[in-house]
Structure 1
Amino acid sequence: MRVTVNGESLELSESTTLLDYLIRRNLNPAVLVVEYNGKILHRDHWSQIQIGDGDTLEILSFVGGG
């Protein structure tokens, strides 16, 4: 299936949950905000969202500094 992540078109071999996708990419969910098909999702729902063909994700991370 084909999805768009941060403006880049990607091919995923199988349906997966949003949380599983983030973990596979070695992203720390605690420091992320995810927009899924135009809606910002609360992280409590990430394990329930199945990524599907044509979906669009925008993944943002927080970076500390001074």
Structure 2
Amino acid sequence: MQPSTLAPTIEEITNRIVASGRITRADERFLLRAATSEQPLSDRDMRQVKHVLDRLKMGLLRVVD
């Protein structure tokens, strides 16, 4: 039996954001919560989150609702 994959992974979310050049407020909140969660992220997930947040700070992503 395989685990349920209903919720998208951090990798899927960050790949979609970078590919589209757009981030929703919900995406932004999700990534900020993941980055500051008490449950640690893997090094790979943390790099992906930082990459997206850095692109957001640099103005390379458009925020959409």
Structure with bigger strand share is: 1
Is the shorter-chain TM-score for this pair beyond 0.5, marking a shared fold? no
TM-score, length basis structure 1: 0.24
Structure with bigger helix share is: 2
